A = this chain, B = another copy of it.
Amino acid sequence: MKLNKEISQDNYANWFALYHLCQNIGSQKAIHISSTEFGKILNLSQQTASRRINDLEEIGWIQRKIIGKDQVIRITKKGADVILAMYKNLRQILEEILIVGEVTEGMKEGGYYVRIPGYLAQFQEKLGFKPYFGTLNIQLSDLNKELLEENLKNQIPVRIEGFEDNKLGRTYGAVDCFICSVSRLDNQDVKVDSAILKIKRTHHKKNIVEILAEDYLREKLKLKDGDRLRIEFTKK
C-alpha cells in the first residue's frame, strides 16, 4: 500500500548492493557490469540485480550510463559517503568493543620515567595525580594496537616537557600522556583513571602499552598476568 517505492536509505538490500559494487569497482573509477554479472555477485537474478541498480541510481548512490549493451556504473560522492559513514560507525564500535589487552609482566621503560623527579613532578601536576612508581604493561593484539593508535590520533596528549639535569649533565626528552580509564572486562563498574605513556622510542614489534595510575593497578583491580583489561577514552 506504500506509494513511495520503498527506495529508502535504510533499506539494507540497497546498502549491500552498493557495498558489493564498491568491492568490485576496485581501483577503477568506474565499472562495466551487466545486470546478470551483478546478479551473480549478489546471488540474485538478473531481474533483481537490474532493479537494485535502478534503485541505487534513484537514491543517488551511483551514476549510471547505458551505452548500447554496455552499462557503466560509478559511485557518486553521496554513495562514497554512505560507505564512509558505515566505516566510521564500525570503527567506533570496534574501538569500544575491542580496545582490550592482556596484563603482562614487568615494569619497563615507563617505570623508569616515573621515578625521575623531573618527570614525577610534572606527572603529578599535569595528570592531577601522583602516579604509582611503576607502570602496568598491557599486551595488545595487532588489531587492538592499530585501533588504539587511531584513537590516540584523536586525543590531545598531556605533554610532559623534557628538561636538563645540569648536575648529571644529561637531557631528558619530552613524553606524551593520553588520559584514559581502565577496567576489568568482567567488572565494568570499577573504572580507574589512568594515562597511557607514549614513549618516543617505542617497541615496534611488541604491542605493549604502559599505563600510569595513582594506585597500584594490579592490586586495585586484582590483576594477574593474562587478565584482560579494557582501555577507554572518556571523551567528548
Residue numbers of A with Cβ under 8 A of B are: 10, 12-13, 15-16, 19, 22-23, 25-29, 43, 75, 80, 83-84, 86-87, 89-91, 93-94, 96-98, 143, 146, 150, 153, 185-186, 188, 230, 232
Q: Pick from B28, B43, B87, B232: contact of A27, CB below 8 A.
A: B232
Q: Pick from B29, B84, B185: contact of A185, CB below 8 A.
A: B29
Pairwise interchain contact A96-B185, C-beta atoms closer than 8 A: no
Pairwise interchain contact A13-B12, C-beta atoms closer than 8 A: yes
Q: Of all chain B residues, which has the CB nearest A24?
A: B93
List B contacts of A153 (CB < 8 A): 146
A29 with B83, Cβ < 8 A, contacts A13-B12, A43-B10 known: no
Pairwise interchain contact B94-A83, C-beta atoms closer than 8 A: yes
List B contacts of A89 (CB < 8 A): 19, 23
